[in-house]
Amino acid sequence: MEKKTTMSQISVAELSKELRDAITKLETTGNLDEVGIVLRVGDGVVWVQGLRDAGYNEVLQIETDNGIVEAFALNLSEDEIGAVLLGADSHVKAGQTVRLKGSVLTVPVGPELLGRVVDPLGNPVDGGPAIKTKQQGIVEREAIGVMGRKSVHEPLMTGISAIDVMFPIGRGQRELIIGDRQTGKTALAIDTMINQGKQKTGVVNVYVAIGQKRSKIARLVERLKQEGVMDQTIIVATSPADPASLLYLAPYAATAMGEYFRDNSQHALMIYDDLTKHAVAYRQMSLLLRRPPGREAYPGDVFYLHSRLLERSAKLSDALGAGSLTALPIIETQAGDISAYIPTNVISITDGQIFLETDLFYQGIRPAISAGLSVSRVGGAAQSSAIKSVSGGLKLGLSQFRELASFAQFGSDLDEATKSQIERGQRLTELLKQHQYNPLSIWQQVASVNAVSSGYFNNVPVAKIKDAQSSMLTRLWADHKKDMMELDKGGKPTEEILKSIEVTARAAAKGFEG
């Protein structure tokens, strides 16, 4: 009881101090501020008369009976301003006074945000204490110029063999994850985040949930905590119940948070989940602002909406600290149609795409990555020598196998070369299957792919490939830990290491030969 009294005394004392501080800051400018009035309000959009000096994207402050509500100006016409509210419109009424804040939208940025779940304005939504950062970042910041950039050359390991081996991603790259609903798009992104923690890469994860269910975000946070990755993760969350303005702002605000790390010589990974919902939120806002609709009712600048966002991902030059911001945007397709409006836009903006197929997913091939339609345009330069040594011809071989496999269904009269290619493809497909939340390190990927592509597992039945792989990895770690740790650094495997892998793989395969 006594303890309780003490705690309440402390909080009253703190509150009193904060209140005094706030009151001392309540000085008026002593100037006549430019003001406007609310003409109309509805559906999260407010129309304002006056404020002739307002700039595009400038923050407006509306004085309601329940406090100040902020909005940002998006339509500047001769007679009125169309602005989108950043909060509920229930207290905003016609005739209320509107002022210019004198700045564009900013959000708190810095390491203080790590481990937190925030809304797009930087307010905590995880029930934790208020976030006090030393810096603010501009939400709509211009992308870095040509001279400030460097070619992508360092790998960003996802821990997913199929990606790291066939479609490598480099730090500073924009790689799209695209596929129908329930094909494992978010799972790929989460595994990549987990891998950054497990491999201790030091890459900061920024996950942007655009209109995602709160229950899904809660599950994600729980999982990231279990995996010990939450400490290097920021989650910017918006739910379907939030106004469209917040969904629209979420990726820009999160990018500002990620840019802090990029600009301080660190590396950050942005996951935009997903940009389809983002485009829909922007379409809603644009239609309410009475902008003319174009294809699929999206406004004319919907390409620019995503291009200016993704252009902020970059690998910085040494002069700027050599930090990087890698982007993994997610797009949801309808019935596998990648030629729809938003998918084609984002495909053309990004440096490659990982295409997930529903058919593969239901065949049990997970991650359901399509070898034929996926590509990484710049990641090859970033692939580590270790992985490169086993990746040659893998993608082509797998694509050819999937074509041959469909032919093989029509008859069993196949020549030896085709048969062996199909068998190799089946083993490889089986090998590249991977459980969720189980990213693999470099040595595990190199040893596994090497074992199958060199034919050490040729006598192992396809169904037992994963068991043989697991046995081989356990033996390798037990018997050749030092070599594997060396291999994990990413250098080209030496003859000695390759010999160790061969001996161990053959020994492991013996136990599973049918």
Partner 1 sequence: MAKLSRRSLSLYVANGLNDPATQKTVLLQLAAYLVDTRRTKELPLIVRDIELYLAEAGSVAGMVTSAFDLTAETKKAIEQYVKQHTGAKEVLLDHSIEPSVLGGIKINTPGHELDATVRRNLTILKTQYKKV
Q: Which residues bind partner 1 (CB under 8 A)?
A: 19, 22-23, 26, 28, 30-37, 39, 49-50, 52, 63, 66-68, 78-79, 97, 99, 123, 130
In whole angstroms, how close is the CB of 237 to partner 1 at the nearest point? 17
- Which one, of 148, 112, 74, lies nearest residue 316 by Cα? 148
Residue 63 or 479: the one with the smaller Cβ distance to partner 1 is: 63
Residues β-bridged to residue 149 = 316
- List strand residue ranges (DSSP E) for 238-371, in order: 267-273, 324-332, 352-356
- Between CA 406 and CA 418 the distance in angstroms is 12
Residue 152 or 249: the one with the smaller Cβ distance to partner 1 is: 249
- 158 near 195, Cβ under 8 Å? yes
In whole angstroms, how close is the CB of 494 to partner 1 at the nearest point? 59
Residue 43 or 63: the one with the smaller Cβ distance to partner 1 is: 63
Burial class (CB in 10 A: 0-12, 13-18, 19+), 389: middle
174 flagged as catalytic = no
- 174 near 329, Cβ under 8 Å? yes
In whole angstroms, how close is the CB of 200 to partner 1 at the nearest point? 35
The set of residues, in sequence order, having a beta carbon less than 8 Å from that of 64 and lying 6+ positions away, is 91, 92, 93, 96
Instruction: Output the CA torsion sign for 233, 253, 321, 350.
Output: positive
From the list 377, 402, 475, 506, the catalytic residue is 377
The set of residues, in sequence order, having a beta carbon less than 8 Å from that of 259 and lying 6+ positions away, is 109, 137, 141, 268, 312, 325
In whole angstroms, how close is the CB of 188 to partner 1 at the nearest point? 36
- Between CA 1 and CA 514 the distance in angstroms is 71
- 105 near 83, Cβ under 8 Å? no
In whole angstroms, how close is the CB of 475 to partner 1 at the nearest point? 57
Phi, psi of 73 (to 5 degrees): -75, 125
In whole angstroms, how close is the CB of 21 to partner 1 at the nearest point? 10
Residue 98 or 356: the one with the smaller Cβ distance to partner 1 is: 98
Residue 67 or 514: the one with the smaller Cβ distance to partner 1 is: 67
SS3 203: coil
- Between CA 366 and CA 352 the distance in angstroms is 20
Residue 15 or 485: the one with the smaller Cβ distance to partner 1 is: 15
Catalytic residues, by residue number, are 377
